[in-house]
Structure 1
Amino acid sequence: SHSSSEIKKLFNDSTYFKNFNKKNAVSTDVGLFSNKLITSPEGLYKFYKLYLYKCQHLLKIIHQDQSNKADTLFIQRIDNLSNNLCKVIDLCEMVRSLHPNEQYVNMANQIYDEMFEFMNILNTDIILYNNLNRVMKNKDRLNLDEEETIVGQILLDDFNKSGLFMNDDKIKDQFITISSQISQLGQEFVISGQEPPFDEQNNDSIWEVSLEQLKKSLPETVYDNLPMKKTNYLFKNPDKIKLNKNNFFLLYQINKYSSNEELRKKTWAYMNMSNGDQISKLSTLLKLRLRLANLLNEKNFNSYQLKNKLIGNSDNVKLLLTNLVKDFKPEATKELAVLADDKTSKVNAWDKEYLQQKNLKLNCVPQLKLNLGSVMSELFYLLSKLYSLKFVVKPMSAKETWCESVRKVEIYDTKTDKIKGLLYLDLFHRDYKTPNASHFTVTTSKKLNDQEIVYEKEDINATCIISDNVQLPIIVINTSIYDPNSISKSDMDTIFHEMGHAMHSILSLTKLQNCSGTRCVADFVELPSILMELFSSDPKVLANVIGGENTDIKLPKENFKALEMIQQIKLSLLDYKFHQATKESDLDEEKLITTYHNLEKEVDILPDTVTNWFGKFGHLFGYGSSYYTYILDRIIAIKIYEKLFSKNPYNSVSGELLKDNLLKYGGSRSPWECLADVFDNKELIKGDKKAIEYI
């Protein structure tokens, strides 16, 4: 392992890192992730073809096996098939998101599409479906263990989403058609949400504002630097100026600095309006989802979507969110009072930015001086204490990586000195890679069964590292840091968050890949990552990052935690209400706007009663019925942190408890059972109303 000072140099000093690679890298005949095939885009295609053949061969065995053991081995075989599929699809997802070579990206896109065609064939394979149904009905006789039962149910749910359970072909075709329409329209809704709200082709996009009003209400330095083009129109009518309502930078400057409330309200409204078509698209999308739920004999989309989730049902979602409004509203009201300072009337949504920049007390927050090397050094130290791990930065040959700035880290268990997994850290900003922070599981952790061991040992080209008959996880973390010697607290939070996902993958050990690491119920998956964010804001951890032994450091105060939580609760309530509708008429465009405004009035914290902003809320498609996930996992994470780590964030006993009762299971155990053990409260196992209230 490395000293703290060496880790800092390896992440802060690009020249030092290049020399480290040059001196120590062993030049071997390998490609991407040490895969002998992937030395070119064509090699990536060969790799895909090899694994496609493996999948087809396995499928043939499953179809043809009529022996007594066929049902006993069925879930294991399907999981093997899924493992081979994911090795290709997950690798291609990472390549098309991060690889700087356009030919690699194009090849990854092509493979992704071809592999999905094969997956669609599997998802509509009636033989697999009937066999799985039979196996699950006879699970007790077949002595399936808990992991196999959970994975069997996951696979059955996936098949049911393809409509295979329907005997009526007409209804089945309807189901598949609606599912396809939802997917297509949802993508359009997300993409067009970024379009300007006003149509440039007509006068709707122009706002005539009094020049005198503007000049009077803005600080001189702000006014002089406004990017306004003096058009001919201005000379004809010197009292007014035409502003484009789609010029968000200009609108934001006015909203932030203008002392004229009417101007602030208008600019805020223009910035928060959705493109006209968005509400229409959303209305159609929500109606299609309701039809889909009705086809499955469910009264609304919430009851269809929340069946196998941690939260249990829509009543529990409502209970959670309404209780949280009561909990956070008093504190949010106090935060508004601090924000208002000298403003006696009610604080409106369009006042927030203006009041925030005016309030000198809020603006005297010290900025933390952080660098990437110190953050990584502290992160490795923290995780080594909590989970008995060792982090070793390893040199790489140029062919093993997709970019020379990527750091490779091997992770070892210090108790056994055995390797646990590989981490590739792509932390620096680069054009043409996804700007969104992300975590890619190139391969999952899983125990290999006899058949797989034979396969993998025969195949020297596999993107798979085997240790003690365990397939080791290969994880990629992506962030967009510009300067390693000057990073923000937000950058640090992001790195800790993504490392939380990585630890979930590294520390989980299941025999089936379908429930490994982050492959757990959707409303539990963010828990380990949000928990790691809490470590990143712990004063003891921050003090170590900033000044070593000097703990007398003024840490930045987070001024609007309750307001931010209320905003997330409002979004979750909106998602809940839209998907709780039982009649299509309640999802007409005007009704959606009314529902939105009524919700804002009910919560009554910075209410928006003038715009149709929710047309920009793309997560209504991606999270449909599940946006509460973020809040639920944050509340649970805070409770875990208070119980286990608030006194000592480096507590190894607490770390082992968390690992042994929650992280190691991935998705192979009921989340409520995991939480019951973490909190030492057996009542939580039921996951009922009492459990929600406890959380």
Structure 2
Amino acid sequence: MTKSDEPAIASPDELAPFAAPLAGPLELPPFDAAGPERWPALFRAAIAEHERELERIAQDPRPADFGNVIDALEASGRTLGRLCAAFFTLASCCSDDALRAAEREVAPLLAGHRARMWSDSRLLARIDALAARADALAPDAEAARVLMLYRREFERAGARLPEAARARLAAISAELAALGARFSQNVLADEAGWTLQLGEGDLAGLPADVIDAARRAARERGMEGWAITLARSSVEPFLTFSARRDLREAAWRAWAGRGTGAGAGGSEADNRPLIRRILALRAERARLLGHPNYAAFKLAPQMAGAPEAVRALLDRVWAPARARALDEARALSALAAEEGANIALAPWDWRHYAEKLRKRLHDFDEAAVKPYLALDNVIAAAFDVAGRLFGLEFAPVEGLALHHPDARAWRVTRGGRHVGLFVGDYFARPSKRSGAWMSALRAQENFDPRMGEVRPIVLNVMNFAQAEGPSLLSWDDARTLFHEFGHALHGLLSDVRHPFVSGTAVARDFVELPSQLFEHWLSQPEVLARHARHVETGAPMPQELIARLRAAETFNQGFATVEYVASAAVDLALHELPDPEAIDPAAFEAELLSRMGMPEAVAMRHASPHFLHVFAGEGYSAGYYSYMWAEVMDADAFGAFEEAGDPFDPEVAARLERHIYAAGGSRDPAEAYRAFRGRDPDPAALLRRRGLAGQGASEAAATA
């Protein structure tokens, strides 16, 4: 290879903006420090720097202690970490062709580096030497747990395997990273490239706020009239309210068909071949590491521990949920027939008739609620709840160099002391990945005396429809905002020493507890009375409307539970296959759903070709069940406040912060939950919350 053919590596001057620590409380990653074409070169330079740091740790001749092993590992790679924070925020929130090309190049570079690090037998030998001396060094509980977690991470990456196996694992990681980036970009291409243009005669049934958002979406795309996009906040209201069944079908098929090659991205965006390869590589990795399949490998360090525990939970919920969904389908079909629609209920009909039935049964209309849920009011409600529970205060900060003009920032304090910086990016746009998430641009830590206590910078990302005036949220949108803000609080309230266990660095099936638990406060009457104010009159949401809203909380839970459990079951089953290349994933998915008795008018919440949770990365692979696993805990956990007779009981809130929100991964999650609640969670609380308790016994017997 000639010098001109060698991959470009950024100079120290180019890397300098990322090498400098984010020292100030409001200092953000330098999002504008590089053009799109320079990111790969920056990553090569930062990776090389980190590998030099790791080499020094591996070759350190001194006896192993916590300072020269654990603290040294914790302090290494800071430049690379800041680079990742900037780049992946832009890649997920502000993507374009140049950034997508950079991401395709960066992903395997980064995966290969991480594989080399975690499979380095010399580093594991230093960990082993430290573990052998740990009793004499008398670590506290957090340090002992961090040591255990580091050791486990090296072992699970193959650091004890022969060199050839370690090299194969590194190659697998790099290929999986490249495939995950392609998978995500293919879904984004389908979502960004598809619109349903509407004329004035196509608006029947749509509320004013949906029409307003569709008008704005059309104008942003240079179109006349109105446009529905594949952002969930656009397509779901259209499926709910549109009186045009033909247009609902067109929208639903585009939404359900993302990633199949039939959408706007064309055949090049077909994710189905990628799925088979991803599954095969994951299964091969599991076998190399001594596990019978990928699900067994992935679940070993989680709370669930094994696929059997996950399946037991899903099976327990499936029978009553399916029975309820079948009852719901019959009721919706009857309503359609009553209105003169001679149809077989289809997935593009469900939301439409469910909304009509909810209005009839509970006198509850989503369109009547949305004027009371302006985005700024819901943000204020989340801040207020955090203040009443944990004493936090939020002050807007202007003039920061955020990643996008739509983003906003607030400084978070408590008793005058800086807690962190919170950034919110709420609106859908073609350049943003779909969904909602939280990420830490800087994690809390307090182990390095040279840096002192480092407070976090936390980002929440949503995809709400932006309107001409105040943006109005559906009830589900508002719940999503509270959910992601629960994740944000998990990062903001973190109070540990080591970044390895900071904030949301916990078991995957525990990480959703703080977020799902926080959702409970949205529906508290006093929160709604204070913040659910009419966007035009400022009047509070009427008490009778609040009562109807709460009465309707378990409405349509058969549908919601079935679409979720079906996705979780397919995810688990695909990853239990010992030889995934021998099957057609689409046919396997269809056959499994048939055996489960999936109701015909209900579709999986996430079909495999656009299942970003599972195939765009490995965070939720064999782990989509985590939301329901955590729901068992969150339904039970809120009971502590109910038993106290006050949703803001200060003693319960203090326990919640100390053992759940502030503890991060510094202790075993089951122990953390017991420390808060005084016992293990009661799974029956989940069925009661969803209104499924006592239902489906005969259905379970019939399908056993």
Match of 1:679 among 643, 662, 677: 677
- Structure 2 counterpart of 1:602, one-letter code: M
Matched, 1:372 2:375: yes
**Counterparts in 2 of 1:74-473, with a 5 A limit?**
74-82=69-77, 85-98=80-93, 119=114, 121-167=116-162, 169-192=163-186, 272=256, 274-275=260-261, 278-342=271-335, 349=347, 352=350, 355-356=353-354, 359=357, 361=360, 364-365=365-366, 366-369=368-371, 370-394=373-397, 396=398, 398=399, 400-402=401-403, 406-414=407-415, 417-428=416-427, 432-434=431-433, 436-450=435-449, 453=450, 456=451, 469-473=452-456
Distance in 2 between residues matched to 1:112 and 1:583, nearest whole Å:
26
Distance in 2 between residues matched to 1:341 and 1:576, nearest whole Å:
35
Contact 1:500 1:531 in 2 (8 A): yes
Contact 1:163 1:175 in 2 (8 A): yes
Contact 1:272 1:613 in 2 (8 A): yes
**Counterparts in 2 of 1:3-82, with a 5 A limit?**
35=27, 38=30, 41=33, 55=50, 58-59=53-54, 61-68=56-63, 70=65, 73-82=68-77
- Kindly tell me: are residues 177 and 65 of structure 1, through their superposed partners in 2, closer, same or farther at Cα, counting changes over 3 Å? closer
Distance in 2 between residues matched to 1:194 and 1:50, nearest whole Å:
29
Once structures 1 and 2 are overlaid, which stretch shifts more, 286-295 or 516-525?
286-295
Distance in 2 between residues matched to 1:307 and 1:183, nearest whole Å:
22
**Counterparts in 2 of 1:531-550, with a 5 A limit?**
531-547=517-533
Deviations 1:75-96, CA, capped at 9 Å, x for gaps: 1221121555423322332344
Match of 1:575 among 571, 574, 577: 571
Match of 2:459 among 455, 458, 476: 476
What secondary structure is seen at the aligned counterpart in 1 of 2:393?
strand
- Kindly tell me: are residues 304 and 69 of structure 1, through their superposed partners in 2, closer, same or farther at Cα, counting changes over 3 Å? closer
- Kindly tell me: are residues 92 and 508 of structure 1, through their superposed partners in 2, closer, same or farther at Cα, counting changes over 3 Å? same
Distance in 2 between residues matched to 1:270 and 1:433, nearest whole Å:
18
Shift of 1:672: 0.3
Shift of 1:640: 1.4
Shift of 1:281: 3.9
Distance in 2 between residues matched to 1:36 and 1:175, nearest whole Å:
35
- Structure 1 counterpart of 2:676, one-letter code: V
Determine the structure 2 residue equivalent to 1:644: 641
What secondary structure is seen at the aligned counterpart in 2 of 1:423?
strand
Shift of 1:53: 9.4
What secondary structure is seen at the aligned counterpart in 2 of 1:410?
strand
- Structure 1 counterpart of 2:369, one-letter code: Q
What secondary structure is seen at the aligned counterpart in 1 of 2:510?
coil
Deviations 1:302-355, CA, capped at 9 Å, x for gaps: 111111001111110011111111343343344334323357999665653564
Once structures 1 and 2 are overlaid, which stretch shifts more, 365-374 or 598-607?
598-607
- Kindly tell me: are residues 488 and 83 of structure 1, through their superposed partners in 2, closer, same or farther at Cα, counting changes over 3 Å? same
Shift of 1:599: 3.0
Contact 1:597 1:609 in 2 (8 A): no
Determine the structure 2 residue equivalent to 1:520: 506
- Structure 1 counterpart of 2:418, one-letter code: I
- Kindly tell me: are residues 162 and 338 of structure 1, through their superposed partners in 2, closer, same or farther at Cα, counting changes over 3 Å? same
Determine the structure 1 residue equivalent to 2:694: none
Deviations 1:552-577, CA, capped at 9 Å, x for gaps: 24144343123101211111111112
- Structure 2 counterpart of 1:378, one-letter code: A
RMSD of Structure 2 on Structure 1 (CA)? 4.8
Deviations 1:165-189, CA, capped at 9 Å, x for gaps: 212x333333333343444344444
**Counterparts in 2 of 1:549-588, with a 5 A limit?**
552-555=543-546, 556=549, 557-558=552-553, 559-584=555-580, 587-588=582-583
Distance in 2 between residues matched to 1:315 and 1:636, nearest whole Å:
19
Larger radius of gyration: 1
Contact 2:443 2:503 in 1 (8 A): yes
Q: Which has the higher contact order (CA 8 A, sep 6+)?
A: 1
- Kindly tell me: are residues 155 and 435 of structure 1, through their superposed partners in 2, closer, same or farther at Cα, counting changes over 3 Å? same
Matched, 1:634 2:638: no
Shift of 1:609: 10
What secondary structure is seen at the aligned counterpart in 2 of 1:471?
coil
What secondary structure is seen at the aligned counterpart in 1 of 2:459?
strand
What TM-score comes out, normalization by structure 2 length? 0.70
Distance in 1 between residues matched to 2:271 and 2:97, nearest whole Å:
32
**Would you say how many aligned residue pairs link Structure 1 and Structure 2?**
591
- Kindly tell me: are residues 515 and 364 of structure 1, through their superposed partners in 2, closer, same or farther at Cα, counting changes over 3 Å? closer
What secondary structure is seen at the aligned counterpart in 1 of 2:461?
strand
Contact 2:460 2:485 in 1 (8 A): yes
Contact 2:444 2:499 in 1 (8 A): yes
Determine the structure 2 residue equivalent to 1:25: none
Distance in 1 between residues matched to 2:244 and 2:376, nearest whole Å:
41
- Kindly tell me: are residues 309 and 690 of structure 1, through their superposed partners in 2, closer, same or farther at Cα, counting changes over 3 Å? farther
- Structure 1 counterpart of 2:69, one-letter code: F
Match of 2:661 among 656, 660, 663: 663
Determine the structure 1 residue equivalent to 2:622: 625
What TM-score comes out, normalization by structure 1 length? 0.71
Shift of 1:283: 3.2
Shift of 1:512: 0.3
What secondary structure is seen at the aligned counterpart in 2 of 1:408?
strand
Identity of aligned residues (%): 19
- Kindly tell me: are residues 346 and 680 of structure 1, through their superposed partners in 2, closer, same or farther at Cα, counting changes over 3 Å? farther
- Kindly tell me: are residues 364 and 280 of structure 1, through their superposed partners in 2, closer, same or farther at Cα, counting changes over 3 Å? same
- Structure 1 counterpart of 2:33, one-letter code: P
Distance in 2 between residues matched to 1:95 and 1:57, nearest whole Å:
27
Determine the structure 2 residue equivalent to 1:464: none
Distance in 1 between residues matched to 2:351 and 2:375, nearest whole Å:
30
Shift of 1:501: 1.3
- Kindly tell me: are residues 221 and 492 of structure 1, through their superposed partners in 2, closer, same or farther at Cα, counting changes over 3 Å? closer
What secondary structure is seen at the aligned counterpart in 2 of 1:374?
helix
Contact 1:71 1:131 in 2 (8 A): no
Contact 1:509 1:665 in 2 (8 A): yes
Shift of 1:593: 1.7
Determine the structure 1 residue equivalent to 2:471: 486
Distance in 2 between residues matched to 1:614 and 1:350, nearest whole Å:
19
- Kindly tell me: are residues 314 and 72 of structure 1, through their superposed partners in 2, closer, same or farther at Cα, counting changes over 3 Å? same
Contact 2:486 2:517 in 1 (8 A): yes
Shift of 1:592: 5.7
- Kindly tell me: are residues 690 and 296 of structure 1, through their superposed partners in 2, closer, same or farther at Cα, counting changes over 3 Å? farther
Shift of 1:579: 1.7
- Kindly tell me: are residues 258 and 322 of structure 1, through their superposed partners in 2, closer, same or farther at Cα, counting changes over 3 Å? same
Distance in 2 between residues matched to 1:219 and 1:502, nearest whole Å:
40
Shift of 1:98: 4.5
Contact 1:298 1:304 in 2 (8 A): yes
Shift of 1:517: 0.4
Unaligned residue ranges in structure 1 (runs of 5+):
1-29, 198-217, 223-245, 457-468
- Kindly tell me: are residues 139 and 347 of structure 1, through their superposed partners in 2, closer, same or farther at Cα, counting changes over 3 Å? farther
- Kindly tell me: are residues 581 and 103 of structure 1, through their superposed partners in 2, closer, same or farther at Cα, counting changes over 3 Å? closer
Once structures 1 and 2 are overlaid, which stretch shifts more, 309-318 or 423-432?
423-432
Deviations 1:630-674, CA, capped at 9 Å, x for gaps: 221223222212332585333332221211121111111111011
Distance in 1 between residues matched to 2:203 and 2:407, nearest whole Å:
46
What secondary structure is seen at the aligned counterpart in 2 of 1:419?
strand
Contact 1:92 1:112 in 2 (8 A): no
Distance in 1 between residues matched to 2:255 and 2:481, nearest whole Å:
30
